[in-house]
Amino acid sequence: MARLSEHGIRLSSMSPSFLNSNSTSHTWPFSAVAELIDNASDPGVSAKQIWIDAVNEADHLCITFTDNGSGMTPNKLHKMLSFGFTEKGSGKASLQAIGVYGNGFKSGSMRLGRDALIFTKNGGCQTVGMLSQTYLENIKAQAVIVPISLVVTEDSEASLAAILQHSIVNSLEQIQKHFDSILSKKGTKILIWNIRRAKDGKTEIDFETDPSDFRLPEIQIEELKKGPRNSGSLRPEHNIPDMHYSLRAYLSILYLKPRTQVILRGRKILTKLVSKRLIHIEHDVYKPHFSVS
């Protein structure tokens, strides 16, 4: 039976398939990575550093994002894992916020992989949550369900049981190990697994060619080259800019004034100011014309 609102009207539900269709707002994986960095750097979190890495966890290839921001309460984590809730759109913080629609984590994480665990601590409590397409398929869910557990309490046993049964961590000791890997007193760690794969069965991101980078596979680089060359914007003797296939190069020019230092696979991202590297710079002055009625 569908839940009813306080007005006696049936509440709408969100199909689990929406997690995948929503992620397609990112046409390539690097913008999904940027989405998660934005969340860490926005006011309310204000992380000084974020570490991005590829690790093996329980025989699963995973992408991790670990920041030293303010962490989240269980209620704030629940809002982050829900759709449309945001606290960035009001007050002074909204002037500096990058994301304001409450969709960034869902679209970004599900673009990179099918399943994600979030470990967060705010100095007062430790909370773990799961957003998982695999879990929803396994239980044949008709709507998106988000298990969230306060590790130190008993009032979220069902959520904790779901996380231990349907994720790649299967004990409280493993969960605590992930909390301990957040070296600061406050912070958040995102663990994404079942990484998205291309039609050839290989991961969409190449983690092996460069141990200090995330790269697009060679076949995707060749496809990228075809587009500009067919349109005439890229000559055969020219190479496609490395920011199109190297996450390290992409992140180096992504922010004009970075708020958060990004460490990718153990090496810091060095910001490049694009405006200072242009050979030809043109300044345009806009002069509005007013019509007199």
Identify the CATH number of the domain in which residue 139 sits: 3.30.565
pLDDT of residue 22: 76
pLDDT of residue 70: 93
pLDDT of residue 237: 45
237 in any annotated domain: no
- Determine the Cα–Cα distance for residues 25 and 16; give it in Å rounded to an integer: 16
- The arrangement of strands across the sheet holding 186-195 comes to 148-150, 126-132, 113-122, 186-195, 60-67, 49-57, 261-264, 267-268
pLDDT of residue 82: 80
pLDDT of residue 100: 47
pLDDT of residue 88: 55
pLDDT of residue 34: 94
pLDDT of residue 149: 78
276 in any annotated domain: no
Which residues constitute the domain of residue 74? 16-205+255-271
21 in any annotated domain: yes
Beta pairing class for 60-67 and 261-264: unpaired
pLDDT of residue 3: 59
With a cut of 50, which residues of the chain have pLDDT below it? 1, 5, 11, 93-95, 99-101, 229, 237
The total of structural domains in the chain comes to 1
pLDDT of residue 30: 96
pLDDT of residue 273: 76
Residues in the chain: 293
Burial of 70 (0-12, 13-18, 19+ CB in 10 A): buried
pLDDT of residue 94: 46
Q: How many CB atoms within 10 Å of residue 27?
A: 9
240 in any annotated domain: no
